[in-house]
Amino acid sequence: MTERRTVLIRYDEIGLKGRNRKYFEKCLLKNIKRALSDSDDIHYTSPRGRIFLNIPSSFEPECSIRLKAIPGVASFSIGVSMNTDLDAIAALGVQWIEPKLESLETLKFCVKTRRSEKSFPKTSPEVNFEVGSRIMTALSPRGLTVNIKEAEYVFEIEIGRTETVVFDKREPGLCGLPVGSSGNVLCLLSGGIDSPVSAFMMACRGCRVHFVFFDNQPFLGRGGYDKVLRLAKKVNHFQTRGTLYVVPFEAMQGSIRDHCNEENRIVLYRRMMYRIAEDIANRHGSIALITGESLGQVASQTLENLAAVSCVTSLSVFRPLIGMNKESIITRAKEIGTYEVSIEPQPDCCSVFMPKNPVTRSKIRFLERDEEKIPWEELRHNALAQMEVIKVDDLP
């Protein structure tokens, strides 16, 4: 029984980077170390193109769960480190494959070798052949056959400079880029299905995503707030160190409702949200806004209305879901575990604030005329002054 395991972590896109590659690698290693920081019995090495962890075998299941939630990890394998002794490697192969044959009549298998240590005297195909034939000698009477194209079981050997790792499974990672490598962004989080998915997608592009929620507790109660806290926590799980800003929005919403054209309300609310989000982003160092908008999904998400909203901010506004249909967004939300929270029944806007017929093609000059009727600079200032700032890592 081996008491230590070696985890071999592969990353894809970073490998394509030129001179910045070191920066991305460092970033990924830092994120992995942070995700596993509660265990002090892990040794890290990072030869070119790979990250290796040496962990106690008892930590294997937990380690696997955590690595699957780290953007930038393309895939990983958990195996055993050993000397590059082909007899010993083949013996381990027999030990791993034998139990599988107990319940099967036949099993198609192959050996795959990768050499990063080119000074090893045998080529990869030679190692495949030698190890494979030794395993076959032992197990072909039990039904084991070699089939490189349709292998049901792949025995892999990675011969490195310092150690050789043997494993038989590849676990998929989230791929993408390590969080922190692309900078901070601020996501407008609503409590619905879409915005958590777009936040997650940006985290997978290397962004650290912070969140802003526009709340209206006097009219909607605390249900929406509680829900957004849980959603932020779920997305933050993939990145850590996100901040959630909760902005009381009832005064702004009330003022727009009481003084502006009814049909423009929703676009006006969103213009104010973008302005306040820009203030927060500038104060706290986010360089773009993220939303969950998808073209044409609701009345406020037409091309004209998106343009009428985007133009109030000089920040870049990214909408990762813009071309996705609802079904694909829902599938993604289920994968990342936010769907079940998002669908809890909780109104995101009280009916007194909703217009009967919201405008679908708003005209910016009419919106600006409406905005002249309300003291929005003052309301924006007050909302920011009352804003609650929550470190998402600290949420229970």
Partner 1 sequence: MIYLDNAATTPMSEEVVGCVDEAMRDLFANSGTPYKIGLDAKGLIGKSAESIARNLKIPSTHRIIFTSGGTESNNLFIKGLCFPDKKTAFLGLEHPSITECLAYFSQFANEPLSLLPFQREGRLDLTSIDNLKENRIKLLCLSHVNNELGTVNDPLKIISALAKKSPQTKLFLDGVQVIGKLKVDPEMWNGLAGYSVSGHKIHGPKGIGLLVYDSKLDLNPQMHGGKQQFGVRSGTLPLPLIVGLETAIKHAVAQTEQTQNHLQSLCCYLTHGLQAMQDQIPELDIRFNSLVDVGVTRQSPGIVNFSFSPVEGEIILHHLEAKNIFVGLGSACSAKSKKPSKILMGIGLSEEQARCSLRISFSKNNTIEEIDQFLEAFGDAYQSLYPTFSQKAGHQ
Q: Does 227 bind partner 1 (CB under 8 A)?
A: no
Nearest approach, Cβ of residue 258 and partner 1 (Å):
7
Nearest approach, Cβ of residue 21 and partner 1 (Å):
48
**Identity (one letter) of the amino acid at 324?**
M
Nearest approach, Cβ of residue 254 and partner 1 (Å):
7
Helix axes of 124-139 and 86-101: crossing angle, nearest 10 degrees: 50
| Distant-in-sequence, close-in-space partners of 247: CB < 8 Å, separation ≥ 6 | 212, 213, 214, 215, 276, 280, 383, 384, 386, 387
Q: Do residues 108 and 150 lie in contact, with contact meaning Cβ atoms separated by under 8 Å?
A: yes
The phi, psi pair for 34, rounded to 5°, reads -65, -40
The single residue among 351, 365, 372, 385 that binds partner 1, judged by CB under 8 A, is 351
Residue with tokens 């679908």: 360
- Beta 43-45 vs 50-56: how paired, if at all? antiparallel
Nearer to partner 1, 15 or 347 (CB): 347
Residue with tokens 């079904």: 327
Nearer to partner 1, 221 or 375 (CB): 221
Nearest approach, Cβ of residue 214 and partner 1 (Å):
14
The single residue among 42, 151, 154, 350 that binds partner 1, judged by CB under 8 A, is 350
Q: Does 349 bind partner 1 (CB under 8 A)?
A: yes
Q: Does 226 bind partner 1 (CB under 8 A)?
A: no
The single residue among 353, 359, 367, 383 that binds partner 1, judged by CB under 8 A, is 353
Nearest approach, Cβ of residue 320 and partner 1 (Å):
24
What is the b/e burial string over 60-97, where b = at least 16 CB atoms within 10 angstroms of the residue's CB? eeebeebbeebbbbbbbbbbbbbebebeebbebbbebb
Nearest approach, Cβ of residue 252 and partner 1 (Å):
14
Nearest approach, Cβ of residue 87 and partner 1 (Å):
56
The single residue among 49, 125, 183, 221 that binds partner 1, judged by CB under 8 A, is 221
CA distance 308 to 88: 68
Nearer to partner 1, 314 or 351 (CB): 351
Nearest approach, Cβ of residue 129 and partner 1 (Å):
58
Q: How far is CA 85 from the centre of its chain?
A: 39
Q: Does 12 bind partner 1 (CB under 8 A)?
A: no
Nearest approach, Cβ of residue 345 and partner 1 (Å):
7
How many residues contact partner 1, by CB under 8 A? 20
Nearer to partner 1, 117 or 348 (CB): 348
Going by the DSSP 8-state scheme, the letter that residue 111 receives in this structure is E
Q: Does 251 bind partner 1 (CB under 8 A)?
A: no
- Beta 171-172 vs 144-146: how paired, if at all? unpaired
Q: 198-217: which residues touch partner 1 (CB under 8 A)? A: 217
Nearer to partner 1, 183 or 221 (CB): 221
Which segment (236-244, 268-276, 293-301, 353-361) binds partner 1 by CB under 8 A? 353-361
Residue with tokens 């036949």: 106
Q: Does 262 bind partner 1 (CB under 8 A)?
A: yes
The answer to whether the Cα torsion of 283, 288, 291, 296 is positive or negative is: positive
Which segment (48-56, 70-78, 341-349, 377-385) binds partner 1 by CB under 8 A? 341-349
**Identity (one letter) of the amino acid at 266?**
I
Helix (H, G, I), strand (E, B) or coil at 295: coil
The single residue among 138, 240, 347, 364 that binds partner 1, judged by CB under 8 A, is 347
Which segment (69-77, 105-113, 254-262, 271-279) binds partner 1 by CB under 8 A? 254-262
Q: Does 354 bind partner 1 (CB under 8 A)?
A: yes
- Beta 107-115 vs 144-146: how paired, if at all? parallel
Which segment (31-39, 82-90, 289-297, 340-348) binds partner 1 by CB under 8 A? 340-348
| Distant-in-sequence, close-in-space partners of 280: CB < 8 Å, separation ≥ 6 | 186, 212, 245, 247, 286, 384, 387
What is the b/e burial string over 30-50, where b = at least 16 CB atoms within 10 angstroms of the residue's CB? ebbeebbeeeeebeeeeeeeb
- Where along the sequence are the contacts to partner 1 (CB under 8 A)? 217-222, 254, 257-258, 262, 345, 347-354, 356
